[in-house]
């Protein structure tokens, strides 16, 4: 990746649709999170699945982050090639991926893997012994009934820990992710979820220690709980990802404003259906993604909030519908029959996404926008 390769285009000439990252907003978001973690006295390990971009991860590391979190071994492979060695693969380990994990560790990657079941733990221990490798393994703890993991009081927690420890692996500790925090939208509810996440993971760690088992790492995290936690006693590290760009879902959750959203999609008006109050743009769901995460929240933004080319939201205008390559821009109120005059053919606009992770995934690269209007091309990892 050529991190210094200048994109000689401007927002006025860049082909569309294109993924735009406002560097000043991104840097502000990075500094905000890192300062909060420093104040709370914990290590911060950002989840890089949102951006899958080494340039962004380097900015996070420069601000004080220690290590990264990934959601695929391909991410681990490519970030390792870019000089990141302390990597947590935070998805349950499938046995067929163990050879890849082994190969990464043998090349010097300090890869930590994850399990939440006895069968998986046995597969890790058996493969590790057969290969003469001591894998570092975290046990995933379920603190909110969101998706996966072992409840803190379940007997299975100790069963899995013993399989790993007695099987010769390094029991690195416990981790949890309060994904259900996305379902709340008040400070009180988010603070309560942050404390539930913290207390549950710390309780799981204490149960391991009470049983004479090692548990050096207690890892928690989601963007809402990281930003709203009042204390993190007993926690050693926090993980969060979408905070670096933010998005409309996070705006509705209440942890950012539209002015904090660093990712947008540059698009061009390509036609009109004036009698319907529609402007047609070249950013459909292939650019924005199919994610309609705001649909069940207090404010539905359709497929995204419409902004002018400078990134200022245009109140009431959203991407209300999308086909593969076509987006339909309309007003949330009465149809704007003067929309063709308001947004003439060729008008450049930017769309704020519902879910930054999903929208970012539609593009092979970002165009990083500086305050002086210059653009730099940043590559983005794709695939599994």
Residue 2 in this model has a pLDDT that exceeds 70: no
**CA neighbor of 366 nearest in space, from 29, 57, 55, 59:** 55
Q: What is the predicted pLDDT for the residue at 4? A: 43
The pair of structure tokens assigned to 94 is 């499938």
Average pLDDT over residues 135-154: 95
Mean pLDDT, range 210-219, rounded to an integer: 98
Percent of the chain with pLDDT over 90: 96
Q: Per residue in 49-64, pLDDT tens?
A: 999 999 999 999 999 9
Q: What pLDDT does 382 receive? A: 87
Place of tokens 């890089």: 48
- Please tell me the predicted confidence (pLDDT) of residue 236: 98
Asked if the 23-245 domain carries CATH number 3.40.50.300, the reply is: no
Report whether 73 contacts 100 (CB < 8 A).
Answer: yes
Q: What's the mean per-residue pLDDT of the chain?
A: 96
Listed by start position, the domains of the chain span 23-245, 258-379
Residue 9 has pLDDT above 90, yes or no: no
The predicted model gives 29-58 an average pLDDT of: 98
Tens-digit pLDDT profile for residues 173-191: 999 999 999 999 999 999 9
Fold for 258-379, please state it. Lyase, Ornithine Decarboxylase; Chain A, domain 1 (2.40.37)
Q: What's the pLDDT at 160?
A: 98
The set of long-range contacts for 184-190, using a CB threshold of 8 Å and a minimum separation of 24, is 184/224, 184/253, 185/252, 185/253, 185/254, 185/297, 185/298, 186/254, 187/228, 187/254, 190/224, 190/225, 190/227, 190/228, 190/253, 190/254, 190/255
Which residues touch 106 (CB under 8 Å, ≥6 apart)? 133
Residue 368 structure tokens: 């990083």
pLDDT tens column, 257-299:
999 999 999 999 999 999 999 999 999 999 999 999 999 999 9
Please report the pLDDT score of residue 147 as a whole number. 86
- The phi and psi torsions of 275 (rounded to 5 degrees) equal -65, -25
Tens digits of per-residue pLDDT, 74-107?
A: 999 999 999 999 999 999 999 999 999 999 999 9
Share of the chain above pLDDT 70, in %: 98
Mean pLDDT of 331-351: 96
Q: What is the pLDDT of residue 50?
A: 96
């Amino acid at each position: 990746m050529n991190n210094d390769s200048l994109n000689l285009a401007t927002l006025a000439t860049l082909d569309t649709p294109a993924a735009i990252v406002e560097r000043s907003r991104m840097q502000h978001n990075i500094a905000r999170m890192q300062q909060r973690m420093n104040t709370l006295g914990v290590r911060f390990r950002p989840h890089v699945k949102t951006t899958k971009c080494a340039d962004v991860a380097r900015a996070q590391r420069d601000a004080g982050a220690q290590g990264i979190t990934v959601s695929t071994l391909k991410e681990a492979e490519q970030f390792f090639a870019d000089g990141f060695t302390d990597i947590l693969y935070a998805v349950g380990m499938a046995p067929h991926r163990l050879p890849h994990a082994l190969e990464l560790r043998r090349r010097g990657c300090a890869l930590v893997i994850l399990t939440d079941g006895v069968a998986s733990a046995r597969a890790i221990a058996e493969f590790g012994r057969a290969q003469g490798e001591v894998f570092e393994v975290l046990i995933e703890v379920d603190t909110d009934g969101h998706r996966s993991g072992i409840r803190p009081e379940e007997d299975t927690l100790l069963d899995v820990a013993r399989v790993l420890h007695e099987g010769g692996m390094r029991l690195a500790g416990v981790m949890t992710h309060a994904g259900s925090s996305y379902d709340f939208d008040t400070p009180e509810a988010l603070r309560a979820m942050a404390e539930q996440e913290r207390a549950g993971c710390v309780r799981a760690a204490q149960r391991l220690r009470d049983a004479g088992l090692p548990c050096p790492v207690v890892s928690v995290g989601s963007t809402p709980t990281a930003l709203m936690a009042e204390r993190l006693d007993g926690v050693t590290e926090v993980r969060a990802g979408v905070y670096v760009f933010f998005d409309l879902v996070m705006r509705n959750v209440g942890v950012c404003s539209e002015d904090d959203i660093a990712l947008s999609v540059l698009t061009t008006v390509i036609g009109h259906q004036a009698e319907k109050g529609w402007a047609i743009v070249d950013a459909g769901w292939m650019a924005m993604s199919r994610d309609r995460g705001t649909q069940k929240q207090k404010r539905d933004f359709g497929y995204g909030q419409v902004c002018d080319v400078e990134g200022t939201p245009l109140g009431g205008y959203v991407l209300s519908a999308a086909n593969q390559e076509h987006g339909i821009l309309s007003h949330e109120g009465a149809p704007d029959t003067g929309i063709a005059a308001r947004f003439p053919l060729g008008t450049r606009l930017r769309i704020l996404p519902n879910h930054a992770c999903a929208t970012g995934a539609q593009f092979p690269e970002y165009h990083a926008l500086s305050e002086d209007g210059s653009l730099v091309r940043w590559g983005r990892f794709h695939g599994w």
